[in-house]
Amino acid sequence: MNIYNILALILLLIIIFLLRIKRHLTKAINEKFPDNLEPDWIVDTFQPWYFHLNKIIGLISVTLLGLILLGGYGFWYSFKIGNQQGYQPDQPIKFSHQQHAGLYKMDCRYCHSVAEKSKNASIPSPGTCMNCHRYVQATAKYNGSISPEIKKIYEATGWDPDSNKYLYAPKDLKWVRIHNLPDLAYFNHSQHVKVGKVQCQTCHGQIQTMKVVQQFSTLQMGWCIDCHRTSNVNVEGNKYYEEIHKRLKKGDKWTEEQNGGTECGKCHY
Ligand code: HEC
Ligand code: HEC
Ligand code: HEC
Ligand code: HEC
Ligand code: HEC
């Protein structure tokens, strides 16, 4: 239930309440002046089915119908909001993974090296780009002048290509964030990449073919849990797991679920 559903419910109750008051007032008027009897719209309309039923049953069915409609709306709403699969925003520099990671076969870790060591994979600073783009200017494509996209890297670092020096104040470079879990969930890259040996592509798709990155997975809770149900923890060469392994004698598989990877506290603070 979010605030809008609750508001809708309150408004609905107020409407029902006002209609009831109106009906009572009409009835009172009709009793006082029986000569100019006005037809009661509600009674006339609903007489055949509503008022002939037991009043309680009638009320319950109408309430249930309302709740089902509201619930359906809430479900649809949270589904739409929660799922960002396919999200593919434009970026401030036309950086292409297809070119760098695909064509030039650069390792993902050259730019996202911290994925091995920390929670975040993080986006490289423009300084990393400068390792090459201080010299690589794609001038052949622009009749001898520097690529306008590469100039943006220079602006972001304060580089002056004429004097080959960092002369200016760096301008903020704001990449648009694509993958984003809500704050209530905890996800750790090194746990998956280093310990679990899960490929970047398993979760992010064939990034090295994308000119513009797009979100490949739903990133929803069911997606995490499904993989934990089926993926095997790497037990070889790990004393702790080998012990459990022997004790349980459950064959030669030890899934992340058996390891506790579907317990709420593992992913929620
Ligand atoms: C030359 C540096 C470089 C290399 C190599 C590189 N990336 Fe990136 N990556 C970036 C930059 C810069 C961004 C932010 C701009 C964008 O989204 O394109 C990014 C964005 C991403 C994102 C989206 C981040 C978000 O906002 O959610 C993912 C996922 C990603 N890279 C995965 C990979 C994978 C997987 C590989 C290897 C196949 C790889 N990258 C190789 C520089 C690089
Ligand atoms: C290992 C070297 C290397 C690194 C690091 C690198 N690039 Fe490149 N990049 C290249 C090469 C090579 C080209 C092709 C240049 C050409 O077409 O002549 C290129 C091309 C580009 C182009 C296309 C230019 C155009 O107009 O055609 C952009 C934009 C670009 N890189 C942005 C980036 C950004 C942003 C980063 C840092 C996140 C980065 N590159 C890191 C080597 C690199
Ligand atoms: C098990 C699934 C999984 C694997 C494997 C994985 N990622 Fe991610 N990645 C995610 C999720 C989930 C997020 C969103 C994290 C968040 O919002 O806290 C994310 C976010 C990112 C981001 C955005 C910035 C950040 O640090 O949150 C980049 C860049 C990225 N991943 C690159 C990579 C690279 C490169 C690899 C391989 C070395 C990789 N990922 C492996 C699931 C994965
Ligand atoms: C493609 C498969 C895959 C996906 C998707 C995936 N995980 Fe995992 N996860 C693993 C594996 C494999 C491990 C076990 C790593 C190891 O060997 O300890 C793991 C371990 C974990 C652990 C450590 C559990 C423990 O026992 O300490 C947490 C926490 C976790 N994952 C959170 C998440 C979250 C949150 C998501 C979704 C945003 C997610 N994972 C998505 C495969 C996955
Ligand atoms: C493997 C990781 C993982 C485990 C285990 C897990 N969750 Fe989640 N959960 C997530 C992620 C990621 C999200 C955020 C994405 C989403 O909303 O689906 C989430 C979202 C939620 C939400 C918010 C839903 C929403 O629509 O905002 C609730 C409530 C929740 N989890 C409860 C639980 C409970 C209760 C358990 C234990 C039975 C549990 N979770 C176990 C990963 C996990």
User: What pLDDT digit, counting tens, does each position of 54-73 carry?
Assistant: 777 778 888 899 888 888 77
- Which has the minimum average pLDDT: 24-28, 134-138, 166-170, 180-184? 24-28
Measured in Å, residue 230 CA sits from the centre of ligand 5 at 18
Model pLDDT for residues 130-154, shown as the tens digit of each residue: 999 999 999 999 999 999 999 999 9
Q: Is the CB of 233 inside a 6 Å radius of any atom of ligand 3?
A: no
Per residue in 174-203, pLDDT (tens digit) is: 999 999 999 999 999 999 999 889 999 999
Q: What is the pLDDT of residue 68?
A: 87
Q: What is the mean pLDDT of residues 90-95?
A: 96
**From ligand 3's centre to the CA of 194, what distance in Å?**
12
Distance CA 63, CA 50 (A): 13
Q: Which amino acid residue places its CA nearest to atom 16 of ligand 4?
A: 196
> Of all residues in the chain, what percent carry a pLDDT higher than 90?
54
CB 186 within 8 Å of CB 268? yes
Mutate to test the pocket of ligand 5, among 186, 192, 221, 258 (most ligand atoms within 8 A of CB): 221
Q: Which carries the bigger pLDDT value, residue 83 or residue 194?
A: 194
Q: What share of the chain in percent tops pLDDT 70?
A: 81
Per-residue pLDDT band for 226 (boundaries 50, 70, 90) equals very high
Taking the C-alpha atoms of residue 79 and residue 92, their distance in angstroms, rounded to an integer, is 29
For residue 230, what are the contacts with CB-CB under 8 A and spacing of at least 6?
255
CA distance 216 to 204: 5
Share the mean pLDDT of the chain.
85
The pTM score is: 0.81
Distance between CA atoms of residues 47 and 58, nearest Å: 11
How many angstroms separate the CA atoms of 76 and 194, rounded?
37
Ligand nearest to the CA of 184: 5
The residue nearest atom 38 of ligand 3, judged by CA position, is 200
Q: How far is the CA of 142 from the centre of ligand 4 (A)?
A: 46
pLDDT at residue 60 in the model = 84
Ligand 3 atom index nearest CA of 219: 12
4 and 11 Cβ atoms separated by less than 8 Å: no
Residue 62: which of 50, 74, 52 has the closest Cα? Answer: 50
